[in-house]
Amino acid sequence: MAKKAGVERAPAAHELVVITGLSGSGKGTVLKCLEDVGYYSVDNLPIQLIETFAELTAASPSSRRAALVVDVREGEALKRFPVIYRRIRRRVPARLVFLEADDEALLRRFSETRRPHPLGGGRSVARSIRSERQLLAPIRALADLTISTSKFTVHELREFIGERFGGDRGESKILIYVNSFGFRHGIPHDSDLVFDVRFLPNPNYLPEFKDRTGRDPRVARYIRTFPQTQEFVARISQLLVYLLPHYIHEGKSYLTISFGCTGGQHRSVMMADEIRKRLSRAGFKVKGSHRDIHKH
């Protein structure tokens, strides 16, 4: 059992958390979660009032931890935020949290909620997202914590923020995503670590396995029969169990590990499932997905 090392600092007695990021990335959820763990929370405070708000909360014994959301709803005034935030940081403890997600996730969320993008004005949602990324780039560069919410459910995001800011946990945690993919469909852009398992014998060439996947026990057994499979699983598991506490110590909050084979149907699927199980048994919080398992 691997013990996860690295203790994150507890929230300061006074702290201002500024939440910003892309529309649809979960800023409202994060603000609500911070309110639930004791932060005095304000949504969409005008830019010109942020410095006053920071000073007032710092002086007030009843609201010494505060959080607010700043985003593109501020319009042209948002361009002044980087200068304002730098001034605030010189006077009070402050953290800037930037939320983002990939285009696919954001498009799906806008489609599901049927809400217009704040930058709409007759433009498509996809074009508005691209424009928003450009507008927010200078603010993103200032962020103390950048969170991609693409793979978070609302519940997981709330849990993550509660653990990060609640101040009542003993150990830092890291959320690990273990994915499989096919190189012919491209490497997942959000991968932190990528392992190529195309050196393993390919079940696709056996007629009885061609239309099955690495989740089929017979296919998985076949792949495991090779000594190189056994050695690779053992070596990668040991490497990851060694690396993860160091990532935690450096403040890494989530890590995406991707295993790739040719089509993403057999070898990478079996390997991702096996590594996910081993990391779970080692005490880590792990989620798995198979991006290309049904592509042919």
Domains identified in the chain and CATH numbers: 15-165 (3.40.50.300), 175-290 (no CATH)
Residue pair 103/53 in contact by the 8 Å Cβ criterion = no
Residue 13's pLDDT is what?
54
Least confident of 35-44, 52-61, 71-80: 52-61
Q: Which residue intervals of 195-226 are DSSP H helices?
A: 217-224
Averaged pLDDT for residues 251-267: 91
* Average pLDDT estimate for 12-31: 87
- Residue indicated by tokens 């990939």: 102
Please say whether the beta carbons of 214 and 180 come within 8 A. yes
Query: What pLDDT score was predicted for residue 173?
Result: 67
pTM metric for this prediction: 0.64
CA distance 175 to 165: 15
pLDDT value at position 118? Answer: 87
pLDDT for 119: 85
| Cα 251 to Cα 213: distance, rounded to the nearest angstrom | 36
- Express as a percent the part of the chain with pLDDT over 90: 53
| CA–CA separation, 260 and 191 (whole Å) | 11
